[in-house]
Amino acid sequence: MPRLNQTTAWKFFVDWCHKRGLKPLPANPWTVAAYARWCETHHRYQTIVNIVKAIAKEHMRKSRKRPDRHPLVTRTLNLIAQRQEEQEIDKTQAAALFREEDFTAAPPAKAETEAEATAASRVQREVQTRTQDAAQGIRRALRATPKLVSRRPSMT
């Protein structure tokens, strides 16, 4: 979408409402909140806030109602802001391919290396046994139903 000024933001809102059979003026707060959620996939938070302000300004000019002040709309805008912050945090965390400690830490002690070697050999043995079992046609699968266990009689 092109850069949105107030008139184009209002026109986009009216078009969106007409495509869905909704009334743009006076708009129900649910309609404004739904449009803000729809805009979430297309715009950043501040642009969405400006769009809602443009809708509110048009409502003030023509009907004196302010759907932007309705609790549903304010909660929706807060939710969009929170989601955008979480996405930005996730992007910064995902940008780091390696941990900093991998490059700055001292080489591991001998005991750690031996423990890692034993764990690796245990895993390797398990993989070998599973491969051999599969070659022999032995199936080991999880049960679809739990195994029945008999209960001992209580000693009361």
Supply the range of the domain harboring residue 20: 6-95
According to the 3-state scheme, what is the secondary structure of the chain? CCCCCHHHHHHHHHHHHHHHCCCCCCCCHHHHHHHHHHHCCCCCHHHHHHHHHHHHHHHHHHCCCCHHHCHHHHHHHHHHHHHHHHHHHHHHHHHCCCCCHHHHCCCCCHHHHHHHHHHHHHHHHHHHHHHHHHHHCCCCCCCCCCCCCCCCCCCC
Asked, for residue 137, whether it belongs to a domain, the answer is no
Tens digit of each residue's pLDDT (9 = 90 or more) over 89-124 = 766 666 555 666 666 656 655 656 677 778 788 888
Asked, for residue 22, whether it belongs to a domain, the answer is yes
Asked, for residue 72, whether it belongs to a domain, the answer is yes
Asked, for residue 51, whether it belongs to a domain, the answer is yes
Asked, for residue 153, whether it belongs to a domain, the answer is no
Q: Identify the pLDDT of residue 1.
A: 46
Place 150 in a pLDDT band, splitting at 50, 70 and 90.
Answer: low
Asked, for residue 128, whether it belongs to a domain, the answer is no
pTM (two decimals)? 0.54
Q: Identify the pLDDT of residue 67.
A: 81
Tens digit of each residue's pLDDT (9 = 90 or more) over 11-20 = 898 888 888 8
Asked, for residue 61, whether it belongs to a domain, the answer is yes
Tens digit of each residue's pLDDT (9 = 90 or more) over 42-95 = 888 888 888 888 888 888 888 777 888 888 888 888 888 888 888 877 666 665
Asked, for residue 139, whether it belongs to a domain, the answer is no
Number of domains making up the chain: 1
Alpha carbons 118 and 87: distance in angstroms, whole number? 40
Give the CATH number for residue 48. Answer: 1.10.150.130
Alpha carbons 67 and 29: distance in angstroms, whole number? 5
